[in-house]
Structures are given as structure tokens and as C-alpha cells.
Amino acid sequence: MISGGNDKGLMSEINVTPFVDVMLVLLIVFMVAAPMMTQGVDVSLPEAASDSLSMDEEEPFYITLKSGGEIFINDFPVDEDRLRPKLSALLKERPGTRVFLRADRAIRYGTVIRVMAEIKSAGVEKLGMVTEPLETK
Amino acid sequence: MHTHPKAIVRSLVLLVLFVFIFSPVQAEERIQLRVTNPFENKTPVAVPAFAIRGTSPTEKALGQKAITLLQETLRFTGYFRMVDPEAFLEEPAKTGISEKEIHFDRWRSTGAELLITGSMTISGQSIIGDFYLYDIYRQKSLFGVRFRGAGDPSTTLRPLILKLADKIMVTYSGKHGYFNSKIAFASTGTTGIKEIWTCTFDGDEPTQVTRNAAITLTPSWSPDASKIAYTSYANEKPDIYIQKARPGARRELVTAQGTTNITPTWLPDGKNMAASLTINGDQAIYLLTEKGKIRKRLTRKWSKWGIDVSPVFSPSGDRMAFVSKRSGTPQIYVKHLKSERIERLTFDGRYNTSPTWSPTGDRIAYAGFQEGRFDIYVMDAQGGRPMQLTRDTGDNETPSWSPDGSLLVFSSNRRGTSSIYIMNAYGTDQRQLMSLPGEQTAPVWSPNLTR
């Protein structure tokens, strides 16, 4: 028998409504967030009209090939035969750093490939090519 | 009629669980962080080159020597890691010295966090060095100092660079380094007889201090690091002597009144000593004057096995740790000198010896015998669980703290013959300090020498 109007009457079950609310919100949050948590795809080859490269907070190394054939790491000039030891020393100090290759369009493809091979042999896992976005005329 | 709320909840909970279990996101990586050990992540430091004002080749060579010494000293501390010069994205010789001339972005690219630059003016009779330490990430100067060294540049270079290293340590860790300290140890040398030797904190300049032509061991530094007390069999039986800490100094007898007189130590006041004396067949610890007069007996005869040895006093002088066999096996005890209360500190293992106080007086390092080997342990001076610092590497004995408490020196026979080793206070970065002929044992680290 229920004693009407008695506030002290025991409630035998937990009030689950807020619990369900919270759980539903959590569920939705995870459903939305789950696809975003997958790793970004490494860009390893240039694409002409590519999307911009994803940048993490680690500063990458830029290796620049100027039209005259000079090679730079960031803004530090290196000879071609010094590139590999220097780059592997840098990667030992900052393991996993991305390396981006910026080659002048006048540079021969063979030269670019040779430099790329040097970079790869220095132990670079993440090599990206930097391109200008295609100009639409 | 409406559905029962319980059923809805149950299905919802199931759904949520289902989603969680099959969600593509899984926390697989477990990251372990030990924030207590500052030696785990070493700070990368770039030390390119010092600009040398002086033209002769010997002066240029001194500049290179300065760089090498500074790098070795900083690496020795265990706090720092040197950035490989091959990784520099700046010509070392063209590096700017002042804040405006430095390309912080280039140094940041090499992964360095600290940069040390400087210039040295070397003349025939002096060195003047201007040195700067920069925080590369915050792009600002942490200090700029000028040091002068008068005298022959080849001899003043080392103290000058060590002074710079100390300044860097104070800036980095807030504590003075130990670059003015020495380590005393017993070595058999080429004669096969144990004598006391000293060397600098980094194992440089090993020097034989005693020439007793008799077994000489257990060195102990006076608090001002000017004298060494030791046990020697110079007169057939073990007696206690004091000697100035330089080769050729005369030994002075402290006491020979017991049948054995061993393990001397100094009180922090530098005037009184304590040692283990056997008088009438009873080996106990006595408080002595430097002249050997007994002032007080510090440990009472407790049982018939009550042998008490190896006293060492806490830096404030309020407590004395010692080794006693009163309970059957050698264990470490601490005596509170004011209240005369004695408490047993070690309970693990059947043999614990060589206690030594950390410079702050809150921890005790000792050698303990377990599983057939001696290993170094550190424990809270109040008692508690000991932390094992060495394992599976032969016998490791007689630890002693560096004056700043960041390193421990000890002896180990991990490579056959016993030699002096160094590790940091958390047991990592263990390395041999130097290699000398014969066996080296019982290292003790001096306080910093005051000049």
C-alpha cells in the first residue's frame, strides 16, 4: 500500500533518465569522432593538382633544389655528397621529422630522382614533394 | 500502455557497449612516464664553436680544447646531450654570439634546445672568456658572463670552462655542480699494495696520495676537502691516520689505542671524528678529536656479536648511520644523536653495509648482498622500501654521493677487476670513470673545494 503524500517513501529504482541522456550524447560524440581519429595519409608522391599537405606541429625539413643545381636544407647550402650524412644526422636528432623536396621546375627529372634517392637512403620515411597549385587560366 | 523504462535502458546500454567494443578507435599505445628521473630525457645542447681572438695555432687549438672539455663536462652531468655537429644548419665558425646575431630558427631546426656561444681572448698570460647561454625555443638569453683566468692559458683553461659548466648547471638545475670536487679511492696500482689515490670528479689527474707501503684503505674526506682520514697497516695493525690531500704530505697518527682502529669519518664541524675501535675485545664506535682523544662512546655493547663499524654522519650532524652486527647479521642502523635513539634501517638480505648520506640528508645509499651479489641500494633515511640501482652486473659496492646529490660513485667488478664507476642517482647511465692498473675500491666523493 502506498501512503499517499509521504515524501519519505522509498524509491526503489535508480532514476535512469539522466544516465540515458548522457550515454546518448556520448554515443553520438564517439560516432562523430571515430572516423576522424584515423591517421592522416602520408603524401609521398607529388600530385599536380593536389590538396595541400597536412602539417603537424613538427617543423619539417625543406630540401630545395635550385635551378642552378644548388641544394639547400632549409636555408643552409650543402654539397650533394654532404646531403646524406647531414640529413641522417638531423634525423637522428629529430627522429620522424618530415622532409619535403622542393625542386625547381627547370631541374632535370634525373637530378630530382638522384636527390630523392639520397634523401631516402638517409633514412627518411616521410618524403613529400612540394608543388605549386595548378594555375587555372 | 507504454514500454517498461527498464527495457529501453537495457537495450540502450547494450547498444552503447556494442558501439564501444566494435569502434575502430582503440587505445593500444600505452605511454609510460616517469617524471621523477630528470636524466631520462636529456636536453639537447648545441655547442658550436668559440670565437677565438688570437691568431697563433696554439690559441686556435685551445679554443677547440675548450669546446671539447665543455661538451664532455655537460655530457658527464647526465642532464644534457650534445647535438651532433654534423646536424648543425649553421657554420659553427660563423655563428653569431649575441642574441641579435643568432638565427634561432636554424638552431631549432637541428633539434637543439639550448645553445652556448662565446668568445675567448687568449694572450700569453691570461684568458678572458665571454659566454652566453640561450634558450632556443624562447629565443632569449639565459645568461651572459665574463670569466677571467690569469696564468698560463693551458692550465687556466680547465678551471675557466668548469666555472662555465657550473654556471650552466646552476641555471639549469638550480644547484651548483661538483666540478670543484675530487674522488678519493683505494688502488692497488702497480705495486699490488692498496694506497689512497685521488682524481678529479671526471676521473682526470689520478694521483697517488699516500706512500705508506702498507695496506691503506677506507678514505674519508674532511668537510673542507683539504684532508683525508684513512685506515692503514703502516704499523703492523690497522690504525687511523690523517693526511693532507696531496701527494707527499706527512701522515699523522690519530689513534692506535685499540687492537684494531678502522673506518674513520669526520663530523660536519670538521673538528671531531668518529671511528670503530676495538678496546678489550669490544668493537664499538667512538667520538674522537683529531688528536685521537676519546670524547665519547657512541654505540653501546648490545649483544655478544655487537660489532659496530662504518660510522657516517648526516650533513646536519644530527644523525649517525653505521653498520652493526648486533642482530646477528650486518645491517644498517641510524642513531639520533640528541635523543640517543637507535633504529634499524635495513631488513632485506643478510648483509647490508657501506651506508652513505645524500647531501640533503634525506636518503641513504648502501651496498646490500642479495642473490649472491653486492648491489647498490638507495632508501629513505626515515626507513622504507629500498630502491635497487644496480643489478646483474657483478659486485657493486661502496657508493658515495656527488656534492649535489645527482650522481653516485661506486666500485664494481663487472669487468673482472674492481674499478670505479659512476651512475646517476636513479641508477641509469652507469659508466666506468677511468681505467688504471690494479684494482680500485672504496671511492668517496669530496665536497666542492673552496678556493
CATH number at residue B77: 3.40.50.10070
CB-based contact B357:B364 (threshold 8 Å): yes
Pair (B166, B208) in one structural domain = no
Which among A30, A74, A93 is the nearest to B44, CB-wise? Answer: A93
* Cβ atoms of residues B89 and A76 within 8 Å: yes
Decide: B181 and B162 in contact? Cβ < 8 Å: no
Domains of chain A: 61-129 (3.30.420.270)
CA atoms of B382 and B361, how far apart (whole Å):
10
Instruction: Give the helix ranges, DSSP H, for B336-440.
Output: none
Structural domain contains residue B209: yes
Tell me the CATH number at B214: 2.120.10.30
The candidate with the shortest Cα–Cα distance to B183, out of B395, B361, B440, B381, is B440
CA-based nearest residue to B378, from B332, B324, B430, B413:
B332
Of A37, A75, A92, the CB nearest to B84: A92
Q: What is the CA radius of gyration of chain B?
A: 28
Contacts of B111 in chain A (CB under 8 A): 90, 93-94
Could you tell me the pLDDT band of residue B130, with boundaries at 50, 70 and 90?
A: very high
Position A134 scores a pLDDT of 65
Give the rounded percent of residues in chain B with a pLDDT score beyond 90. Answer: 63
Q: Which of B278, B207, B245, B282 is nearest to B436 (CA)?
A: B207
Task: Locate B346 and state its grid cell.
Answer: 635495513
Please say whether the dihedral angle defined by the alpha carbons of residues B206, B207, B210 and B214, taken in this order, is positive or negative.
positive
Residues of B in contact with A73 (CB under 8 A): 89
Distance, CA of A60 to CA of A88 (rounded, Å): 14
pLDDT at residue B188 in the model: 94
Give yes or no for residue A3 having a pLDDT over 60: no
Assess whether B163 and B222 both reside in one domain: no
User: A with B: how many residue pairs have Cβ under 8 Å apart?
Assistant: 62
Distance of CA A97 to the CA centre of its chain: 10
Residue B411 and residue B330 share a domain = yes
- Please, what is the average pLDDT of chain A? 77
With respect to residue B35, please indicate whether it lies within any of the assigned structural domains.
Answer: no
Give the mean model confidence (pLDDT) for residues B234-241: 93
Residues of B in Cβ contact (< 8 Å) with A74: 89, 106, 109
The answer to whether the CB of B294 falls within 8 A of the CB of B274 is: no
Do B277 and B167 have their domain in common?
Answer: no
Residues B164 and B240 occupy one common structural domain: no
Give me the pLDDT at residue B131, please: 93
Among the ranges given (A24-38, A120-134, B32-46), the one the predictor scored with the smallest mean pLDDT = B32-46
Count other C-beta atoms under 10 Å from residue B278's C-beta. Answer: 18
B6 part of a folded domain: no
Residue ranges making up the domain that contains B107: 43-173
Residues B126 and B109 in one domain: yes
B109/A61 CB distance under 8 A: yes
Amino acid at the residue A129: M
Cell of A5: 503524500
pLDDT in tens, B72-119: 999 999 999 999 988 898 888 787 888 888 889 889 888 899 999 999
Same domain, B300 and B427: yes
Chain B residues whose CB is inside 8 A of the A75 CB are 89, 106
Would the CB atoms of A93 and B8 count as touching at under 8 Å? no
Question: Which of A13, A19, A30 has the CB atom closest to B23's CB atom?
Answer: A30
Chain A contacts of B17, Cβ < 8 Å? none
% of chain A exceeding 90 in pLDDT? 8
- Show which of B141, B173, B205 is a domain's final residue: B173
> Are B281 and B249 within one domain?
yes
Is the model's pLDDT at B145 over the cut of 60? yes
Question: Residues B103, B60: one domain?
Answer: yes
Best of A17, A30, A76, A99 to mutate (most B CBs within 10 Å, chain B)? A76
State yes or no: pLDDT of B24 exceeds 80: no
Q: Quickly tell me which residue has 674522537 as its cell.
A: B288
B17 close contact with A: CB closer than 8 A: no
Task: Please give the pLDDT value at position B217.
Answer: 92
Q: Clarify whether residues B204 and B67 are in a common domain.
A: no
Among the candidates B114, B140, B173, a domain finishes at: B173
Using an 8 Å CB-CB cutoff, list residues of chain A that contact chain B.
13, 16, 19-20, 23-24, 26-27, 30-31, 33-35, 37-38, 59, 61, 73-76, 85-86, 89-90, 92-94
Residues B436 and B335 in one domain: yes
- On whether residue B305 sits in a domain, the answer given is yes
**What residue of B is the nearest CA neighbor of A99?**
B109
Judged by CB atoms closer than 8 Å, whether chains meet at B12 and A74 is answered as no
Residue numbers in A near B24 (CB within 8 A): 34-35, 37-38
Integer Cα distance of B305 and B39 in angstroms: 43
In a domain, B252, yes or no: yes
Give the number of domains in chain B. 2
Q: What's the average model confidence in pLDDT over B33-56? A: 78
CA-wise closest residue to A101 among A58, A44, A48:
A44
Q: Is A86 in Cβ contact with B5 (below 8 Å)?
A: no
Mean of pLDDT values over B255-272: 92
Query: Could you tell me the maximum CA-CA distance found in chain A, to the nearest angstrom?
Result: 97
B442 vs B154, residue with greater confidence: B442
Contacts of A63 (CB under 8 A, 6+ apart): A71, A72, A73, A83, A87, A99, A100, A101, A102, A115, A119
CA distance B182 to B196: 13
- Kindly list the residues from chain B whose CB atom is less than 8 angstroms away from the CB atom of residue A38: 24
- Residue in chain A nearest B25 by alpha carbon: A34
Q: Is the pLDDT of residue B158 over 50?
A: yes
B333 and B258 belong to one structural domain: yes
Check if B290 contacts A (Cβ < 8 Å). no
Please say which residue of B107, B140, B173 terminates a domain.
B173
- pLDDT, residue A38, reads 56
Pairing of strands B252-255, A71-73: unpaired
Residue B326 confidence (pLDDT) above 80: yes
DSSP tag of B106? H
Task: List Cβ neighbours of B167 (8 Å cut-off, separation of 6 or more).
Answer: B131, B133, B143, B145
Checking if the pLDDT of A137 tops 50, the result is no
Which residues on chain A are in Cβ contact (under 8 Å) with B23? 30, 34
Nearest by Cα to A123 from A61, A66, A75 = A61
Contacts of A92 in chain B (CB under 8 A): 84, 87
* Closest to B443 in 3D by CA, of B370, B368, B356: B356
Residue B11 has pLDDT above 80, yes or no: no
Model confidence over A23-62: pLDDT tens digits? 999 999 988 888 776 554 444 444 444 445 454 567 888 8
Kindly state whether residue B109 falls inside one of the protein's structural domains: yes
Give the CB-side neighbour count of residue A104, counting CA atoms within 13 A.
11
User: pLDDT tens across B332-385, in order?
Assistant: 999 999 999 999 999 999 999 999 999 999 999 999 999 899 999 999 999 889
Torsion angle (degrees, nearest 10) of CA B85, B91, B94, B99:
-70
Largest CA distance in chain B: 108
Residues on chain B touching A30 (C-beta within 8 angstroms) = 19-20, 23, 25
Lookup result for grid cell 663487472: B414
Quick check: B90 contacting A, CB < 8 Å? yes
Residue B104 sits at the chain A interface (C-beta within 8 Å): no
Q: Is residue B136 part of a domain?
A: yes
Q: In what order do the strands lie in the sheet with A76-78?
A: A76-78, A71-73, A61-65, A99-103, A127-129
Determine whether the interchain pair A74/B109 forms a contact, defined as Cβ–Cβ distance below 8 Å. yes
Whether B178 shows a pLDDT value over 50: the answer reads yes
CB-based contact B102:B95 (threshold 8 Å): yes
CA distance, residue A135 to nearest chain B CA (Å): 32
